[in-house]
Amino acid sequence: MESKETSLAALRWLVEAGADEAVDEVAHDRMARHAAAPPGPGARSPKPAAPKLTSNDAVLASARDLARGAQDLAQLRAALDSFDGCPLRHDATNLVFADGDPRARVMILGEGPGAEEDRQGLPFVGASGRLLDRMLACIGLDRTSVYISNVLFWRPPGNRTPTGHELAACLPFVERHIELVDPAFLFLIGGTPAKTLLGRSEGILRLRGKWAHYQHPGMPRPIPALPSLHPAYLLRQPGQKRLAWQDLMALQAAIRSGRDPLLAG
Ligand code: URA
């Protein structure tokens, strides 16, 4: 039998590797998910089975069909709820769709839910969210005057970096989300949303602070998008807040002018 010290060392190692919370009372063998074992006592309500669609093309086609069929935000949320093609949903507690006012002029897109967001089913409600709230307050905005979502709708386990497949599976829903909200400005916080939506490969420190047009075939016009630094990064690197401040000032100026900064003379 393992000694207490060995178990504690293993636990410390897991926490350092990012597995910083227990998601259930007992350990689950995810590889045996489909074994025909009856649910044990205290089993959670059944989650959708693991993705049936095995080819990426089929997953993407299904995501596009579902997203395109959504005529409003409630339908888009329901479509995501029925979508089985993003593996992240099988380890997540909640779908994290959006918060704020969908009629707002600014739509903020982050990377993906963390532990607190996964628990509450709302974006940016953990430590990063508290910093985001303070950042928005600096330019006279709050959660009732912006609309907030992410480019992933489920939490990557342990907050690991999302895979290309996970991002691609969510992208048709993100694109439809932007189309339906039709904001005047996009504020893309972090490298993942900036690169995913603007089709760029540079790091966020190169992309930030530079307006770019987000355009998608279904949209009547391009939307000016400003990449900026993610609050989680700012919590680790507070010295970089001055760059985020410059971006917030640029966003505020654009909101006040009501004009596309890329077209304004
Ligand atoms: N980080 C994100 O990118 N999104 C959230 O919703 C929370 C933390």
Residues pairing with 106 in the sheet: 185
C-alpha of residue 189 to centroid of ligand 1, in Å: 9
First-to-final CA distance of the chain: 73
CATH class of 56-257: alpha beta
* Sheet strand arrangement including 99-100: 99-100, 147-150, 106-110, 185-189, 223-228, 212-214
In this predicted structure, what is the pLDDT of residue 35? 40
Best of 94, 99, 111 to mutate for ligand 1, by most ligand atoms within 8 A of CB? 111
Domain range annotation of the chain:
56-257
Best of 99, 107, 117 to mutate for ligand 1, by most ligand atoms within 8 A of CB? 117
- Kindly give the residue spans of alpha helices, DSSP state H, lying in 107-148: 115-120, 127-138
Which one, of 213, 238, 216, lies nearest residue 226 by Cα?
213
CB-based contacts of 231-237 (< 8 A; 24+ apart in sequence): 231/124, 231/128, 231/129, 231/131, 231/132, 231/135, 231/189, 232/114, 232/127, 232/128, 232/190, 233/190, 233/204, 234/131, 235/127, 235/128, 235/131
Q: Are residues 88 and 166 in contact, defined by beta-carbon separation less than 8 angstroms?
A: yes
Q: Are residues 213 and 261 in contact, defined by beta-carbon separation less than 8 angstroms?
A: no
Instruction: Name, in order, each residue with C-beta under 8 angstroms of 11's C-beta and a sequence gap of 6 or more.
Output: none
Q: Are residues 211 and 225 in contact, defined by beta-carbon separation less than 8 angstroms?
A: yes
In this predicted structure, what is the pLDDT of residue 13? 63
- The CA–CA distances, whole Å, from 223 to 103, 242, 265 equal 15, 25, 17
Q: Label residues 198-231 b or e (16+ Cβ within 10 Å = b).
A: bebeeebeebbbbbbebeeeeeeeebbbbbbbbb
C-alpha of residue 137 to centroid of ligand 1, in Å: 18
pTM score of the predicted model: 0.81
Q: Is 186 helix (H, G, I), strand (E, B) or coil?
A: strand
Q: What are phi and psi of 244, to 5 degrees?
A: -65, -35
pLDDT in tens, the chain (265 residues): 457 776 777 666 655 554 555 554 455 554 444 344 444 444 444 444 433 434 588 999 999 999 999 999 999 999 999 999 999 999 999 999 999 999 999 999 999 999 999 999 999 999 999 999 999 999 999 999 999 999 999 999 999 999 999 999 999 999 999 999 999 999 999 999 999 999 999 999 999 999 999 999 889 999 999 999 999 999 999 999 999 999 999 999 999 999 999 997 6
Q: Are residues 172 and 83 in contact, defined by beta-carbon separation less than 8 angstroms?
A: no
Ligand 1 proximal residues by C-beta, below 6 Å = 110-114, 117, 123-124, 126, 128-129, 150, 190, 232
The dihedral formed by the CA atoms of 115, 167, 164 and 28, expressed in degrees to the nearest 10: 40
Neighbours of 42 (CB within 10 A): 8
The residue whose two tokens read 């330019």 is 139
Tens-digit pLDDT profile for residues 8-66: 776 666 555 545 555 544 555 544 443 444 444 444 444 444 334 345 889 999 999 99
Q: Strands 185-189 and 223-228, how do they pair?
A: parallel
C-alpha of residue 60 to centroid of ligand 1, in Å: 24
